[in-house]
Structure formats: C-alpha cells, structure tokens
Chain A
Amino acid sequence: MIVRRLLLLCLWVAPAWAEQAPHIGVLAALEGTVTIIHAGLARVAQAQESISLGDSVQTGADGTVEIHLQDQTTLFLRPRSLLHLVSFAPPIPGQTPRTLSEAALEKGKMVVRTGTAPVAVTTPTAVVRAAHTRFAVEVR
C-alpha cells in the first residue's frame, strides 16, 4: 500500500518538476536519430522542439542536431554524441560577463559558436571556457 502511494506520488511529482524546468533553447535543425532525455524519460526529438535546463540530447550513428540557446550560443552536435545541458543563467546587466551556458559533453563531438556571454563545456577530463569565438570539442 505504501509502495503504491509512493509510486503515485512520484508519478505526480515528476511531470510537475519537468514542467518547471525552464526552456533554454530550441532544436533548430536535426537529421537522423536524435533523442531528448527529459526528466529521466527519453523521446525522439523533432525539429523546432524546445529544450529545457537539465535535458540531455543524444545523437545516433546518423544523427546531427543544431541547438540554439537563448543567449545566442549555438551547439552543433555530431553523430554518436551525448550532451547534458547543465546550467543556464539569464544575463545580469552591468555585471562582469560570466559563464552563461554550461553544457557537459559526455561523449562524441560538438562545434560551439558562443553567443553573448562566456560558455563552459565540461568533458570527463577537462573544462573548456570560451567567449566570442567558435571551437570544436571532442571526447575520445
């Protein structure tokens, strides 16, 4: 009985939490198999779909996706990649620029075009910090 109640609570809480995660960007273009993992649930991604803070994006062997974040950062994810969208803070006028977007590339390859503020990409072995530039990062 208790287990059943807990299960029901989880089912009620999880979608509520998922709804609260702010949208931080959109999948501007995609090809092949791309999956979004949102609140622990995986689904096949569609072009022009919104993505939220805490989402993960996974590309299949034939999958590529272009992600536009609200701070004008653009991420181009290559096939066989897994990216977690870790943090995103709105800019604070008048403050020293700080990391606006942070993404974690667990595996694969990605090209990053930075937007209006610095970006950090963490990998299993390094942290890449960049501003006003473009770069490619690969986890081998």
Chain B
Amino acid sequence: MRRLVASGLFLLGLCGGCRHADTFVVLLATGGTLEVNTPETTVTLREPFQGVTVQPGTTPRMATVGATELLEAYGPEALPQDWDETYALYFTEETMLTATSQALLTQITAVHRHAQVRAMTLIGFTDGLGTREENQELAQCRANTILRALRAAGVRAPITATGAVNVREEPAQYDAARRRVDVSIRLQ
C-alpha cells in the first residue's frame, strides 16, 4: 500500500513537472527597450500597459493591463510613474456611467480642458459575462464613450482609447469593479 501511494505521488510529481510555467511580462514606462525572448520567438513591447504571455510551443498572447490590475498584482511600484494622474470610471450598464463616476468625469474635463495635457490613455474593461469577442467590443466601446465625452467637453490633448484584452479569463459573472475605464493623464 505504501509503495502504491509513493508511486502515485511520484507520477503526480512527474505530471507537475511536465507542465511548462508561462511567463507574463508587462511594460510600465515609456521609452527604453524591452524584449521577451523564447526559443521560438521574440516579442518587443513598446507601450506602457502593454503585456505579453509566453509559453513554449504556443503563440504569444498580447494583453493590455489597466492601472488597477497593475496595482493589485504587482503593488504600488508597478504604477507607471511617468503618468501624473490616474482615475477609474465605473459603469452601471454597457456604456452608462455611475453617478459618482459621471461626477468625476465632469471634474476631470473641467480641470483638463485648458490644462497642459501631453497625453491621455483610456483603457476599457468588462466583467466575464458574455463571450470574449463581445467583451472586447464592449471594452473598446466604453473607452470610446469616455473619449467622446472628453472631446465634447473641449479636451484637445492626444487621447488613445483601447479596450483591454483580459490577461486572465474572467469568471462568467457580474463584477462591478471590472465594468470601468481607466484614465491615465500625462501633464506637460
């Protein structure tokens, strides 16, 4: 019996050893260079918040990570320091902001309409309800909603609006914290 258990544990160990760990890398700053090399490929990351998951024998999976995820996963050191301000705007429905976030957006536009803003980045997110394709579209749609609101309010700074490609598969459930757009602002 003891021998059987030992054999089982040995096989379990072998199976665990067979699994290749994957590596996730995300760029946190502008400028500089960053390359991720595997035996099969090389991926170059150029933009902050851009990430990639690599695993031998599979195609690298690109991802966009928001400031909130960076903070949760890697701590305060991971927040891009060359961005002067970051905000999170939350949605109740597909593209409808919560009252608090609507008020925050009004504040942001009021402050930055005439400010010396060098660049803004908007990254949209969704929870895990719906298909991956639908969520990608919705994430982009949320980012575009904020972009339009900023433009309509007179913000003229260059703005990049993208939908996040989820780094991990989100559970198929309602999650208010993921129905949002992260706003990052770089001042002159």
Assess whether A138 is in contact with B73, with CB atoms less than 8 Å apart: yes
The answer to the question of A23 belonging to the interface, with a C-beta cut-off of 8 Å to chain B, is: no
Residue of A nearest to B80 (CB): A134
> Beyond A76-B75, A109-B74, is A125–B37 a contact (Cβ under 8 Å)?
no
B42-66, CB under 8 A of A: which get 1 and which 0?
0001000000001110000000000
Assess whether B25 is in contact with A111, with CB atoms less than 8 Å apart: no
**21 interchain pairs (CB within 8 A)?**
A76-B75, A76-B78, A78-B74, A109-B73, A125-B20, A125-B22, A125-B23, A125-B54, A125-B55, A126-B54, A127-B36, A128-B23, A128-B34, A128-B37, A130-B35, A133-B32, A134-B29, A135-B28, A138-B24, A138-B74, A140-B22
The answer to the question of B77 belonging to the interface, with a C-beta cut-off of 8 Å to chain A, is: yes
- Measured CA separation A109–B74 after assembly (Å): 7
> Beyond A78-B74, A109-B73, A133-B29, is A138–B34 a contact (Cβ under 8 Å)?
no
Residue of B nearest to A133 (CB): B32
Residues of B within 8 A of A113 (CB): 77
Q: Considering only CB atoms and an 8 Å cut-off, how many residues of chain A contact the other chain?
A: 27
- Per a CB cutoff under 8 Å, which of B21, B26, B75 touches A107? B21
Assess whether B74 is in contact with A123, with CB atoms less than 8 Å apart: no
Residues of B within 8 A of A126 (CB): 23, 25, 36-38, 54
- The residues of B with any CB-CB pair to A shorter than 8 Å are 20-29, 31-38, 45, 54-56, 70, 73-75, 77-78, 80-81
Classify the interface of chain A: helix, strand, loop or mixed.
strand
Assess whether A129 is in contact with B23, with CB atoms less than 8 Å apart: no
- Measured CA separation A7–B11 after assembly (Å): 35
- Measured CA separation A97–B81 after assembly (Å): 25
Max count, chain B CB within 10 A of own CB: residue among A131, A132, A136: A136
Residues of A within 8 A of B56 (CB): 125
Q: Which of A72-130 contact B (CB under 8 A)?
A: 76, 78, 107, 109, 111, 113-114, 123-130
